[in-house]
């Protein structure tokens, strides 16, 4: 008989070695599958014992498939009555296309027609199809102008082991076949032959690595827990051969209970420990697992006398979790010099372990590219790359040159802290791309009355000629070094990547933090609870602090910041001097003392104006969440009442409406976005360089006779059209230099600022 076992990309060699170790003959690795020959019992053995295969298929025939008709005719030549019993249901699993068969659903339909017609002509009745629980699954795989018809002996994919856990919502599970591949890459299935093996699973997640490692050590077949197989409803099933294999597997599992094993797990993610223990119980594994720190696990593996291996699952890390990855890689450096098998989406672990892998295999992690890598144990280990900070604190780094960044940051931080104490500033920029290779901005936020410290690190997009992996490693070194230098808990470090991409409004995405998908039953319970509490629900007050928000002080005023919901945390530190200027200008304003804040964001400038004595304020923004935030900021500083109004509107439309009304203001602040294309705007898009003349003229027409406006934008190359404005009777005075704070002096193009008056 001819069979093949399918597998994920990159697993082919490992699967071929596994099948050969099971004494299966004629093994040959192909692309995405491994073919083998032998008896039906060999295929059953692969189903029962393979940890890496996805499915095991019995080849019935190869037929012409250059057209739909040729596929139909070829399948009609197969005696399907020898495979489907009377009354049995079947389903088609179609894969592959070609120039004429361009849709797998159509391939499945024509295949079903062929099988149904053959059975009808032989028995006078058509078989029923069942896509949920068929008695027999027929796999039809099209490749080029040929198709292979097979019986799927496995039924459900073999990586559905029966112990799959979703106990911890915050911890991504690792599929059992990927866990087995991780172990196979590290040679665990050889290590278990040495007495009392030790496995240290770094970031064990929900425990599939622990189950697969324990199952191999205890000689327990991975298919023992499966309640149903694809061959059980097939006419050709050899029940005696299958029962003999099961009896043998039971004997081996019973004997394997005596084998020794030490399982160590390292994972501080919420729910990971309980999830691992639950998964082991669900798999029927009685081995205990000890949760320890990475250094402790490394010491235990180094002193082990039997087989030993460290697995490192970093597949859960992505481009949005670099701050976490930096901490993870710093910890992972403790296992340098040991035998380590790793699954990751980048090669940054090479630098952390100070070694090149002995073997590296490209795989898919979900829809992303990833790799399986194996690092051999070595006594000759390269000197660790690390930097030494104040107090002899040593921090492992991925790039040796990061010691320059550490020294520069420590020096600048000391000078900036001295300046901040002198000026009574609690939130400020510490570092601003001082070293070209470490092109980040680092801002320190200190909570009100010393309640917390947070860092916001913003990476400037690297030029295309800079190696992406090198830039990534440098950034992770920044994320490891900065909290140590600035005395901030690494969990309070927030990373933002800034690009120069156009499109989207200035505040797009506000309030859209990623969430974890809910199961249907969880969502139902949540909604039921909401309905039950609806009548008694507390209505939040304007001074209630939203989830994830913190309070900071600036200029004697209290403001809300939030690092988890959007790109900007709620206050632009580069406008600290501008806001102070607004307060002083309002103090000197006579008459109605009316203030207008356009593109107001969270209303920080409105708070300053009110603190300067504004009798009436108007805060305008298109974003409802931003206006709610502005209301809270005003309320916390004691500014409430009908004299402070908040208007949700497109600013350009609002200006046009107010020009035709009697409303006028003594002071206007207009901090415009560089570009916006919100669907709620009057115009299809706003570009500050293109549209500033119309905007500034409109703002000037809203001023009282002696009123003035402050116009600001952060387009680096902004150039106002002075002549066009002059013709419209608008006078522009550049005050940019006066509004750049001390901590932004390295980047004086952070914004442009002008006084606007009517000529």
Give tens-digit pLDDT for 668-695.
Answer: 999 999 887 765 555 667 889 999 999 9
- Radius of gyration, CA atoms only, the chain: 33
Q: Residue 260 pLDDT more than 70?
A: yes
Query: Which among 348, 16, 11 has a CA at the least distance from the CA of 182?
Result: 11
- Compute the distance between CA of residue 389 and CA of residue 439 in angstroms, rounded to an integer: 21
> What pLDDT, in 10s, does the model give residues 208-251?
999 999 999 999 999 988 889 999 999 999 999 999 999 999 99
Q: Mean pLDDT throughout 613-626?
A: 96
Q: Mean pLDDT throughout 632-651?
A: 96
Strands (E), 606-680: 616-621, 644-648, 665-671, 675-676
Specify the pLDDT at position 387.
Answer: 85
Q: Mean pLDDT throughout 392-402?
A: 85
Percent of all residues in the chain with a pLDDT value above 90, rounded to a whole number: 72
Specify the pLDDT at position 320.
Answer: 62
Percent of all residues in the chain with a pLDDT value above 70, rounded to a whole number: 91
Q: Write the Ramachandran bin of 456: left for phi over 0, alpha for psi from -120 to 50, otherwise beta.
A: beta
> What pLDDT, in 10s, does the model give residues 292-309?
999 999 999 999 988 999
Specify the pLDDT at position 384.
Answer: 65
Specify the pLDDT at position 503.
Answer: 38
Would the CATH topology of 176-218+259-375 be identical to that of 561-758?
yes
Q: Compute CA distances 469 → 47, 350, 474, whole Å.
A: 40, 11, 9
Q: Residue 498 pLDDT more than 70?
A: no
Q: Which pLDDT band, with edges at 50, 70 and 90, does 524 fall under? A: very low
Q: Please answer whether residues 52 and 180 qualify as being in contact, where contact means their C-beta atoms are separated by less than 8 angstroms.
A: yes
Q: Please answer whether residues 27 and 108 qualify as being in contact, where contact means their C-beta atoms are separated by less than 8 angstroms.
A: no
CATH topology of domain 561-758: Rossmann fold (3.40.50)
Q: Residue 527 pLDDT more than 60?
A: no
Specify the pLDDT at position 706.
Answer: 92
Q: Which pLDDT band, with edges at 50, 70 and 90, does 142 fall under? A: very high
Which CATH code for domain 176-218+259-375? 3.40.50.150
Q: Residue 197 pLDDT more than 90?
A: yes
Specify the pLDDT at position 519.
Answer: 35
Q: Which pLDDT band, with edges at 50, 70 and 90, does 537 fall under? A: very low
- The residue extents of the domains of the chain are 3-152, 176-218+259-375, 386-498, 561-758
> What pLDDT, in 10s, does the model give residues 330-384?
888 889 999 999 999 888 888 888 888 999 999 998 888 999 999 999 877 666 6
Q: Residue 152 pLDDT more than 70?
A: yes
Q: What is the pTM of this model?
A: 0.75
Query: So what's the architecture of 386-498 in CATH?
Result: 2-Layer Sandwich (3.30)
Specify the pLDDT at position 392.
Answer: 80
Specify the pLDDT at position 178.
Answer: 96
Query: Which among 639, 651, 629, 489 has a CA at the least distance from the CA of 568?
Result: 629
CATH topology of domain 3-152: VC0802-like (3.30.2130)
Q: Mean pLDDT throughout 242-264?
A: 94
Q: Mean pLDDT throughout 20-48?
A: 96
Contacts of 344 (CB under 8 A, 6+ apart): 312, 314, 315, 317, 370, 371, 373
Specify the pLDDT at position 517.
Answer: 34
Specify the pLDDT at position 681.
Answer: 56
Q: Which pLDDT band, with edges at 50, 70 and 90, does 86 fall under? A: very high
Query: Which among 379, 396, 273 has a CA at the least distance from the CA of 333?
Result: 396
Specify the pLDDT at position 531.
Answer: 44
- The dihedrals phi and psi of 415, each to the nearest 5 degrees, come to -65, -40
């Amino acid at each position: 008989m001819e069979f093949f076992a399918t597998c994920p990309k990159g697993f082919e060699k490992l699967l071929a070695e596994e099948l050969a170790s099971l004494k299966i003959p004629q093994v040959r690795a192909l692309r995405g599958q491994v073919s083998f020959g032998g008896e039906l019992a060999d295929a059953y053995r692969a189903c029962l014992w393979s940890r890496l295969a996805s499915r095991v298929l019995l080849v019935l025939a190869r037929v012409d498939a250059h057209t739909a008709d040729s596929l139909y005719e070829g399948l009609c030549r197969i005696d399907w009555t020898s495979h489907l019993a009377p009354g049995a249901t079947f389903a088609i699993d179609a894969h592959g296309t070609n120039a004429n068969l361009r849709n797998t659903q159509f391939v499945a339909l024509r295949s079903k027609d062929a099988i149904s017609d053959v059975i009808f002509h032989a028995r006078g009745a058509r078989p029923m199809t069942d896509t949920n629980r068929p008695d027999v699954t027929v796999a039809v795989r099209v490749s080029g102008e040929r198709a292979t018809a097979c019986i799927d002996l496995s039924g459900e994919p073999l990586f559905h082991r029966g112990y799959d856990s979703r106990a911890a919502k915050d911890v991504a599970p690792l599929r059992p076949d990927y866990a087995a591949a991780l172990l196979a890459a590290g040679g665990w299935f050889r290590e278990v032959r040495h007495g009392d093996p030790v496995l240290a699973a770094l970031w064990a997640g929900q425990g599939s690595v622990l189950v697969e490692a324990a199952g191999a050590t205890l000689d327990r077949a991975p298919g023992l827990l499966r309640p149903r197989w694809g061959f059980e409803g097939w006419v050709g099933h050899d029940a005696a051969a299958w029962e003999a294999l099961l009896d043998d597997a039971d004997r081996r599992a019973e004997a394997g209970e005596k084998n020794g094993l030490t399982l160590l797990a390292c994972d501080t993610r919420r729910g990971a420990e309980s999830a691992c223990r639950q998964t082991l119980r669900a798999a029927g594994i009685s081995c205990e697992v000890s949760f320890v720190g990475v250094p402790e696990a490394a010491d235990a593996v180094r002193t082990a006398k039997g087989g030993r291996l460290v697995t490192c699952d970093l597949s859960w890390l992505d481009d949005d979790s670099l701050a976490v990855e930096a901490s993870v890689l710093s910890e992972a450096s403790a296992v340098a010099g040991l035998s380590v098998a790793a699954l990751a989406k980048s090669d940054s672990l090479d630098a952390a372990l100070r070694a090149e892998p002995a073997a590296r295999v490209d795989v898919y992690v979900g829809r992303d590219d990833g790799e399986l890598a194996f690092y051999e144990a070595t006594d000759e280990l390269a000197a660790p790359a690390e930097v030494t900070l104040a107090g002899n604190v040593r921090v492992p780094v991925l790039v040796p040159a990061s010691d320059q960044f550490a020294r520069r940051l420590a020096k600048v931080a000391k000078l900036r802290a001295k300046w901040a104490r002198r000026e009574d500033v609690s939130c400020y920029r510490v570092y601003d791309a001082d070293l070209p290779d470490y092109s980040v901005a680092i801002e320190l936020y200190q909570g009100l009355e010393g309640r917390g410290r947070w860092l916001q690190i913003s990476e400037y997009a690297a030029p295309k000629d800079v190696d992406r992996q090198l830039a990534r490693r440098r950034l992770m070194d920044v994320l490891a070094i900065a909290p140590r230098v600035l005395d901030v808990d690494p969990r309070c470090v927030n990373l933002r990547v800034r690009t120069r991409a156009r499109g989207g409004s200035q505040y797009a995405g506000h309030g859209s933090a990623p969430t974890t998908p809910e199961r249907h039953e969880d969502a139902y319970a949540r909604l039921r609870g909401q309905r039950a509490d609806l009548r008694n629900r507390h209505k939040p007050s304007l001074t209630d602090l939203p989830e994830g928000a913190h309070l900071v002080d600036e200029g004697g005023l209290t403001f809300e910041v939030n690092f988890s919901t959007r790109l900007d945390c709620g206050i632009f530190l580069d406008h600290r001097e501008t806001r102070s200027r607004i307060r002083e200008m309002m103090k000197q304003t006579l008459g109605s003392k009316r203030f207008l804040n356009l593109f107001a964001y969270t209303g920080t400038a409105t708070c300053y104006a009110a603190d300067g004595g504004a009798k009436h304020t108007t805060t305008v923004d298109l974003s409802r969440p931003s206006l709610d935030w502005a209301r809270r900021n005003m309320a916390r500083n004691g500014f409430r009442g009908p004299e402070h109004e908040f208007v949700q509107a497109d600013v350009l439309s609002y200006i046009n409406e107010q020009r035709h009304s009697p409303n006028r203001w003594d002071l206007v602040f207009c901090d415009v976005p560089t570009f916006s294309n919100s669907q709620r705007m009057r115009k299809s898009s706003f570009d500050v360089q293109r549209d500033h003349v119309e905007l500034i003229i409109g703002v000037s027409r809203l001023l009282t006779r002696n009123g003035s406006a402050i116009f600001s934008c952060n387009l680096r190359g902004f150039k106002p059209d002075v002549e066009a404005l002059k013709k419209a009777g608008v006078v522009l005075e550049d005050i940019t230099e006066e509004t750049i704070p001390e901590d932004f002096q390295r980047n004086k193009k952070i914004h442009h600022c002008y006084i606007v008056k009517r000529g």
